[in-house]
Amino acid sequence: MTTVTRASSADAVLTRPLVRALAVVALSFLLGGLTSYAQGFLPDSFASFANSASGWTVLTASLLYWSRMRTGPAAVLGAVSFVLLVLGYTVASQVRGLVYDPLLFSVVGVVAGPFVGMAAVWLRAAGVRAALGTALLAGIGVGEALYGLTVVRETTSPVYWTVIGVAGLALLAVMLVRRIRGAVQVALAVAGTVVVGVAFVAAYSGLGGV
């Protein structure tokens, strides 16, 4: 009985929004640092994960999806998570004797992070919210794939770019089957994915892919 009670108490603690938010904060900084070290041990075919916008987007979205936050807190945590990933990467890089300026991607995190956070928790919703969340996240995956397979194809392996593109399309397909219903919502998810993908390539090209 005591063991069951203690387990129930631990589960209750983990369901508290504040605890989950603090977990997202801590894990974001830790995972950001790990992406710096990952550049040293990931195989060439997947090295781009640790040096791409989609890598940090996947981590932010995964943490926020796990957190089950409401839309407002998810938007705030999305920005916080993305920026902490950048700062964790910066600190780890300095420990490794490397120099990295976090300003640009911190700004990107502040601007894009709230949308990624909202999109991640909206994957648990239905209807228009599910369609919009899917379009953003799937579009980022598809856009990163297009950018990688065209703009930087000469200097990077195509494997990661292909995988992230397939993952984006797989997310779209799963959501269309499980949560998105009706012609309008389907069109919103599909067209939105295309628009976000094209916009991603244009924006990332404008930033020089850094």
Summarised one tens digit per residue, pLDDT across range 29-61 is 999 999 999 988 899 899 899 888 899 999 999
Domain-ending residue, one of 72, 106, 122: 122
Among 109, 100, 129, smallest CA distance to 192 is for 129
**Same-domain pairing of 38 and 80:** yes
**Same-domain pairing of 18 and 104:** yes
The rounded distance, in Å, linking the Cα atoms of 91 and 106 is 13
**Same-domain pairing of 117 and 180:** no
**Same-domain pairing of 133 and 176:** yes
**69, two tokens:** 């936050």
**Same-domain pairing of 138 and 209:** yes
> Do 41 and 81 touch, CB atoms closer than 8 A?
no
**Same-domain pairing of 11 and 25:** yes
**Same-domain pairing of 22 and 117:** yes
Residue type, position 179, single letter: R
pLDDT of residue 209: 53
**Same-domain pairing of 107 and 10:** yes
The separation between the first and the last C-alpha atoms of the chain, rounded to the nearest angstrom, is 56
Contacts of 210 (CB under 8 A, 6+ apart): 104
**Same-domain pairing of 12 and 69:** yes
**Same-domain pairing of 80 and 53:** yes
The rounded distance, in Å, linking the Cα atoms of 161 and 164 is 5
Among 1-10, 12-21, 80-89, 171-180, the minimum mean pLDDT is found in 1-10
Residue 88: Cβ within 10 Å count: 22
Residue 166: Cβ within 10 Å count: 13
Classify the C-alpha dihedral 97-102-73-145 as positive or negative: negative
**Same-domain pairing of 17 and 70:** yes
Residue type, position 23, single letter: A
Dihedral angle computed from the Cα positions of residues 90, 93, 97 and 100, in that order, rounded to the nearest 10 degrees:
-50
Angle between helix axes 2-14 and 17-41 (nearest 10 degrees) is 80
Domain-ending residue, one of 67, 97, 122: 122
Number of structural domains in the chain: 2
> Do 164 and 141 touch, CB atoms closer than 8 A?
yes
Domain residue limits at 114: 1-122
Higher pLDDT, 2 or 189: 189
**Same-domain pairing of 70 and 154:** no
pLDDT digits (tens, 9 = 90+) for 109-159: 999 999 999 999 999 999 999 999 999 999 999 999 999 999 988 888 999
Q: What is the pTM of this model?
A: 0.89
